[in-house]
Amino acid sequence: MRRRNAIKLAAGAFIGGGACVTAMTTAFKTEAQAATPPKKIDFKESKTVWQYHKLNPKKVAKIAYEGYDVGSCMFGVFESIMAELGEQYGEPYASFPSQMMKYGHSGVGGSGTICGTLNGAGAIIGLFVEDKKIQDALMGELFYWYENTEFPIYKPAKPVMDFTPPTSVAHSILCHASTTLWGKASGFRIKSKERKERCRCLTADVAKKTAVLLNKYINNEFVANEHDNETVRGCMTCHGEEGKLGNTAGKMTCTSCHTPSAAHKVFGDAHYKFMDKK
Amino acid sequence: MRRRNAIKLAAGAFIGGGACVTAMTTAFKTEAQAATPPKKIDFKESKTVWQYHKLNPKKVAKIAYEGYDVGSCMFGVFESIMAELGEQYGEPYASFPSQMMKYGHSGVGGSGTICGTLNGAGAIIGLFVEDKKIQDALMGELFYWYENTEFPIYKPAKPVMDFTPPTSVAHSILCHASTTLWGKASGFRIKSKERKERCRCLTADVAKKTAVLLNKYINNEFVANEHDNETVRGCMTCHGEEGKLGNTAGKMTCTSCHTPSAAHKVFGDAHYKFMDKK
């Protein structure tokens, strides 16, 4: 935010001085980073005892929905896959201390950071996939889906309550933003049992998607970078690790927290057209 | 942010109409939430095989610093405690698959959400502390410390590189904000080896703090709510789960992402004086 204010001030200065505008727009006329092309990822068997086996995503979703009441979101996603592997294959899955994952509730200890469902999915991916780049690719696909999908989608056969949650798009992988936007879309309070049912169904959705991705991966069918986050790519052209401003890192959709400043209008290039969306 | 814009618009309307101002300020003249008083937490032995034992925080810090190069931040913190327990007590610690925690690097798969050191600490706390409220209290203390402390503090006896990282205050538990502010304070790029050394030392700091907190807890000396996040408490008076606006949840310091809007100036109560800090 302080950075943003600094840029705003700078933009004000540009607008006040024509020569400066010309110099700066030239200096910043960077080609937007190209999208990373989709790439088939080859399955690499884990060298540990922790092997993933193909699971039925619908069954996993059901276990996750039911598991939410035992340990909420992170636990629900993690345990859905671990419990099903334990059921089918016994050890070492059966004795994994999944209860530890309860800590991730409400964005880690209630703090509102990463949605617990995604933290649970990350932990499962971290356990079964050794290669860091492949881990990141699987999480990247999942997180993109989370940011852009209207959920919850899951319809329980035996719902905990007689309520079908309205849907919303989270535009963010943070619990704080995801729940706030749902509250705004639905009119329900964060503390309500209706919001909990929304998160219960979302736990099932993320567990299902995680199983689908891992099934694809071990089946040699996972394609990384299928989706391009144009917003992040555009911002990171200048603000990312290799950009001219080079001052930040991350893959979260920038515009969930940051509003493009006046500076970007000065640059007014087609590359920055996404800046006008909000 | 959309919410904030809505409030700004509303504030504009208030300023334009005196009667409305009076009505709204009266409506929102809420007593700020009282600070939760400090409370001694009694140790509850875990009913599982996962028992924490008192460790030497300095030794834990050294293992975490060295572990950073094996699996970065989340792994570094988690493994520092697990490896030391395994070294001293053998199983079940020795065979825990700590390598799974590598997924938390750079805010989970590079996404920039929760700082990996804190996610690793959360996972350790989740494993050894069964009571959810006590988990939250331990994480709350750690997260408050993280948001407000000038770090890194750790000075390795055998540094990986000849460089003492400048310090900064993160004001946030998000990797994205924490590293960005350090880059701004230090002048180093996010991709630099200097930034990695900063995070290596920070990994040692968080591991040490986590061991100190767990040592206190099992020694019946842990006091929850010793620190009061006045900013969050102030904002949550209206915006929190039980507030009149009741539209959001979280414990992250609000002002790291949100700038108080003009609406709050209209309310100009002493309860909102923290709003003028930025």
- When pLDDT is cut at 50, 70 and 90, the band that residue B16 belongs to is very low
Please indicate, yes or no, whether residues A243 and A194 belong to a single structural domain of this protein. Answer: no
The verdict on A193 and A82 lying in the same domain is yes
pLDDT of residue A32: 66
Nearest CA in chain A to B253: A111
pLDDT at A29: 47
Asked if the model's pLDDT at residue A9 lies above 60, the reply is no
A-chain residues within 8 Å CB-CB of B199? none
Q: Which of A179, A196, A224 is the last residue of a domain?
A: A224
What is the pTM for the complete model shown?
0.86
**Tell me, what's the pLDDT at A260?**
66
Name the domain boundary from A206, A224, A242: A224
DSSP-assigned states of every residue in A160-223: SSS--PPPEE-SSSBHHHHHHHHHHHH---TTSHHHHHHHHHHHHHHHHHHHHHHHHHHTT--E
Q: Do A123 and B103 touch (CB under 8 A)?
A: yes
Residue A72 and residue A102 in contact, taking contact as beta carbons nearer than 8 Å: yes
Residue A41 lies in a domain: no
Q: Is residue A113 part of a domain?
A: yes
Calpha distance A196→A189 (Å, rounded): 10
pLDDT tier, B23 (very low <50, low <70, confident <90, very high otherwise)? very low
Residues B232, B197 share a domain: no
Same domain, B100 and B64: yes
Nearest CA in chain B to A72: B132
| Contacts (Cβ under 8 Å, ≥6 apart) of B178 | B115, B170, B172
Which pair of tokens denotes residue A28?
């910043």
pLDDT for residue B28 is more than 70 = no
Does a structural domain hold residue A185? yes
If we measure between CA atoms, which residue out of B240, B234, B245, B236 comes closest to residue B271?
Answer: B234
**Contact at CB, B139 and A242, closer than 8 angstroms:** no
Output the pLDDT for position B175: 96
Structural domain contains residue A51: no
pLDDT score, position A278? 32
Residue of A nearest to B185 (CA): A247
- The share of chain A scoring above pLDDT 90, in percent, equals 67
Verify that A115 and A208 share a domain, yes or no: yes
Give Cβ neighbours of residue B102 (< 8 Å, ≥ 6 apart). Answer: A126, A132, A135, B71, B72, B74, B75
Inside any domain, residue B43: no
Candidate from A122-126, A252-256, B10-14, B186-190 with smallest mean pLDDT: B10-14
The pLDDT of residue B36 is above 80: yes
Residues A242 and A216 both lie in one domain? no
Contact list in B for residue A106 (CB cut-off 8 A) is 249-250
What is the pLDDT, as a whole number, of residue B192?
Answer: 94
The residue of chain A with its CA nearest to that of B129 is: A100
Mean pLDDT computed over every residue of chain B: 85
- Residues of A in Cβ contact (< 8 Å) with B105: 132
Pairwise pLDDT comparison (B227 vs B274), residue with the higher score: B227
Does residue B26 have a pLDDT over 80?
Answer: no
Q: How confident is the model at residue B265 (pLDDT cuts 50, 70, 90)?
A: low
In a domain, B268, yes or no: yes
Q: What is the mean pLDDT of residues A135-153?
A: 97
Q: Are A39 and A223 in contact (CB under 8 A)?
A: yes
Q: pLDDT (tens digit, 9 = 90+) per residue, A160-182?
A: 999 999 999 999 999 999 999 99
CB atoms within 10 A of CB B212: 18
pLDDT greater at residue A265 or residue A254: A254
Question: In terms of pLDDT, which residue wins out, B226 or B273?
Answer: B226
Say whether A104 and B112 touch across the interface (CB within 8 A). no
Query: Could you read off the pLDDT of A185-244 as tens digits, one per residue?
Result: 999 999 999 999 999 999 999 999 999 999 999 999 999 987 877 777 777 777 777 777
| More reliable by pLDDT, A184 or A12 | A184
Round to whole Å and give the CA distance between B114 and B143. Answer: 10
Share of chain B above pLDDT 90, in %: 67
pLDDT at B260: 66
- B113: distance to nearest CA of chain A, Å? 6
Q: Is the pLDDT assigned to residue A183 strictly greater than 90?
A: yes
Residue A237's nearest CA partner among A35, A3, A24 is A35
| A76 and A192 fall within a common domain | yes
- Return the pLDDT at A263: 57
Please state the rounded mean pLDDT for residues B90-107.
98
| A26 has pLDDT over 60 | no
User: What is the pLDDT of chain A when averaged over all its residues?
Assistant: 84
Find the CB nearest B259 among A1, A102, A248. Answer: A1
Q: How confident is the model at residue B20 (pLDDT cuts 50, 70, 90)?
A: very low
Q: Answer yes or no: do B117 and B214 share one domain.
A: yes
Please tell me whether residues B207 and B242 are part of one structural domain: no
Residue B250 confidence (pLDDT): 79
Highest mean pLDDT among A51-55, A256-260, B8-12: A51-55
Tokens found for residue B156: 């390795």
Could you tell me if B141 and B104 lie in one domain? yes
Structural domain contains residue B44? no
Shared domain for B247 and B131, answered yes or no, is: no
In which domain, by residue range, is A254 found? 2-7+15-35+228-277
According to DSSP, the residues that pair with A97 across neighbouring strands are none
Are both B126 and B73 inside the same structural domain?
yes
Taking residues B52-70, report their average pLDDT. Answer: 98
Structural domain ending residue among the three candidates A187, A202, A224: A224
Residues of B in contact with A173 (CB under 8 A): 111, 113
ipTM: 0.86
Residue B53 CA to chain centroid, in angstroms?
24
How many independent structural domains does chain B possess?
A: 2
Q: For chains A and B, count residue pairs whose Cβ atoms are closer than 8 Å.
A: 196
pLDDT at A36: 83
| Closest C-alpha among A79, A90, A88, A78 to residue A54 | A88
CB-CB neighbors (< 8 A) of A252 in chain B: 111-113, 176
Structure tokens at A186: 């639905």
Closest residue on chain A to B232 (Cα) = A111
Q: In the prediction, which pLDDT does B11 show?
A: 39
Q: What is the mean pLDDT of residues B38-66?
A: 96
Q: How confident is the model at residue B243 (pLDDT cuts 50, 70, 90)?
A: confident
Average pLDDT over residues B203-222: 98
B258 domain-assigned: yes
What pLDDT, on the 0 to 100 scale, is given for residue B226? 79
